[in-house]
Amino acid sequence: MENIKVLFACQWGMSSSLLAAKITSKGKERGLQIEVECLAAESALALDLSCFDLVLIGPQVRFYTKKFEEKEEELGINIPIIPVDGFIYATGDGEALLNILLPEIEKSKGNANQ
């Protein structure tokens, strides 16, 4: 079972946990072990992003995207930073979000191996 570590940045780290649980559940159905850490965006920025395979950014803190990209560049790493679509977030569609994030993780892992 592949292990994927996701950082989910949102306003307070609470509402994103509902979507995170759905991502984890849908991933398990596909044979994936997905660990999602949900934090307020400011707290998330203080972490070492290199510990994660992907960063998701909740729609309510979409304006933090540039800050995460700058942090990624500062650390010299290349991980997908994905702002979550408001509709996917509002409907809690873990399957749709998984369909977006998995190809991005594969693409970034492919670039790291080149």
Q: Could you tell me the pLDDT band of residue 112, with boundaries at 50, 70 and 90?
A: low
For 87, the token pair is: 């509709």
Cα–Cα distance between 39 and 45 in angstroms, integer? 9
Tens of pLDDT along 25-35?
999 999 999 99
Write out pLDDT tens, residues 1-31: 479 999 999 987 677 888 999 999 999 999 9
- E-assigned strands of 1-114? 2-10, 32-40, 54-57, 81-83
Residues in CB range of 73: below 8 A, 6 or more apart: none
Three-state secondary structure call for residue 92: coil
Q: pTM higher than 0.85, yes or no?
A: yes
Q: What is the pLDDT of residues 54-96, one digit of tens each?
A: 999 999 999 999 999 999 999 999 999 999 999 999 999 999 9
Q: 2-112 in CATH: which number?
A: 3.40.50.2300
Q: Where are the domains of the chain?
A: 2-112
